[in-house]
Structure 1
């Protein structure tokens, strides 16, 4: 499936989001919501490989080029309301897919909006990452984006120092991570400041929670996933073999095929 258009969607509060649309813009589709340290471009290979829906709309959340600023009033609720605006703009949407922080956003949006299906890959929930906030605050105040990338990979995701050095060796990739770390502190602060959710996805007909096999039962993503499960009583659980949190980058075709299979259940 090829990308057909990019559209700017005003979301209020002097901000906006852009969306990348693959396939037929007016056809029933899947809306994809990335998490932190990610943008719409990072999901292009997944969106392009999906066959189960005639269209795929990938949201470039605020705080990323070429979307608008987070604004001072930014909160987790801001993200949920932004997604509601996108759903109103693309009212033929039949399913939501969210990754990580985006997974939490989709599950909460499905409390406000009826939707046929919600799929969430390793969604996180408060107080995920709270321990890293003091260091991220310092990095944010000094615009030390190298340090921000290190913190998210080492202190939050739990990757090794060798993994970080491998990322740093890819100059273009590291530059992209530095750009994506700009809104990181504000996003994590919003996540940790949010009230613990009650039941989520109440207006979704079906909910599929997906975890990478490598993270099953392991901190931080597997343990956060288990907490989310407690708030989505009617969810089915699925596993992506051989994968961890970054399946959209490391195995985009496999992730797209899983989405296709879940659409057919």
Structure 2
């Protein structure tokens, strides 16, 4: 299984999830560019950069991979999936695409170097959390974890909004696809409304209960 995280996440932040999975096969979590110890985003960074990185990992693993992908990672995974024929399944949890968080781009660029401010912007102006929630984050032990993850935020968001997804090719995906949306985000900005574009592009996507049956079959001895 390959996990592709979104923004404000890295391989280390997904470790508790991986540790809780009782799977007989390896679980690989991409530590995307801009997240230590991976290298910087690099010149000319775009969503194409992320797609090529994912292809490189999938090629190295030799195919027959299940993918679980979150937010920005969901878009990266689906864009890569339309170019492959060796995947077993793709689970996209609250995937996003342009336009998403466009209003936060300039504030994030203006906050370059001020990681505390960047954490506040992404939580308040993109994810829509309350001021009380953000204030609690400042005093939380998770704050030192979030600060470095905020460093590539502006570039991630710019790349997401500059990319035009291959929605017209999603219907041709010859692989089990499952779309997941949190209950509280149904119909709500920004994740629920972003999710609707993927629902329209993937009418063949399976429901979560089908995913559960599929994974149970996949790990059965």
TM-score normalised by the chain length of structure 1: 0.76
Q: In 2, distance between residues paired with 1:105 and 1:158?
A: 23
* Structure 1 position 261, deviation (Å): 4.6
Mapped partners of 1:204, 1:177: distance in 2: 37
Shift of 1:196: 4.2
Would the aligned equivalents of 2:5 and 2:11 in 1 still touch at CA under 8 Å? yes
The alignment partner of 1:208 has SS state of: strand
Superimposed CA distance per residue, residues 33-90 of structure 1 (whole angstroms, 9 cap, x where no aligned partner) = 0000000011111112223451111110011000011001110111011000000111
* 1:3-14 equivalences in 2 (<5 Å): none
Question: Residue deviations 1:83-106, cap 9 Å, x none?
Answer: 000001111442111000001111
1:116 aligns with 88
Give the secondary structure class of the aligned counterpart of 2:15: helix
Corresponding residue to 1:167 among 137, 142, 158: 137
Count the aligned residue pairs: 215
Runs of 4+ in structure 1 off by over 4 angstroms are 258-262
Higher strand share: 1
Map 1:53-68 → 2, pairs under 5 A: 54-68=25-39
Change (3 A) 1:207 1:88: same
Gaps of 5+ in 1: 1-29, 240-257
Instruction: Write 1 or 2 for the structure with the bigger share of helix.
Output: 2
Unaligned runs of 5+ in 2: none
User: Partners of 2:15 and 2:123 in 1: how far apart?
Assistant: 22
Check conservation: 1:80, 1:109, Cα contact below 8 A.
Answer: yes
Distance (whole Å) between structure 2 residues aligned to residue 201 and residue 38 of structure 1: 29
**RMSD between aligned residues:** 1.9
Matches for 1:73-222 after TM superposition, within 5 Å: 73-114=44-85, 115-140=87-112, 143-170=113-140, 172-198=141-167, 199-200=169-170, 202-222=172-192
Output the CA distance in 2 between the equivalents of 1:201 and 1:71: 33
Once residues 179 and 40 of structure 1 are traced to their aligned partners in structure 2, the CA distance between those partners, rounded to angstroms, is 13
Q: Secondary structure at the match of 2:42?
A: coil
**Which residue of structure 1 aligns with residue 8 of structure 2?**
37
Q: Contact (CA 8 Å) 1:207, 1:234: kept in 2 or not? A: yes
**Other-structure match for 1:8:** none
8 Å CA contact 1:118, 1:204 repeated in 2: no
With structure 2 as the length reference, what TM-score do the two structures score? 0.91
Once the two structures are TM-superposed, the CA of residue 214 in structure 1 deviates from its matched residue by 1.6
SS state of the match for residue 206, structure 2? Answer: strand
Q: Which whole-Å CA distance do the structure 2 matches of 1:231 and 1:225 have between them?
A: 10
- Structure 1 residue 203, shift from structure 2 partner: 3.8
CA gap of 1:260–1:66, structure 2 versus 1, over 3 A, is farther
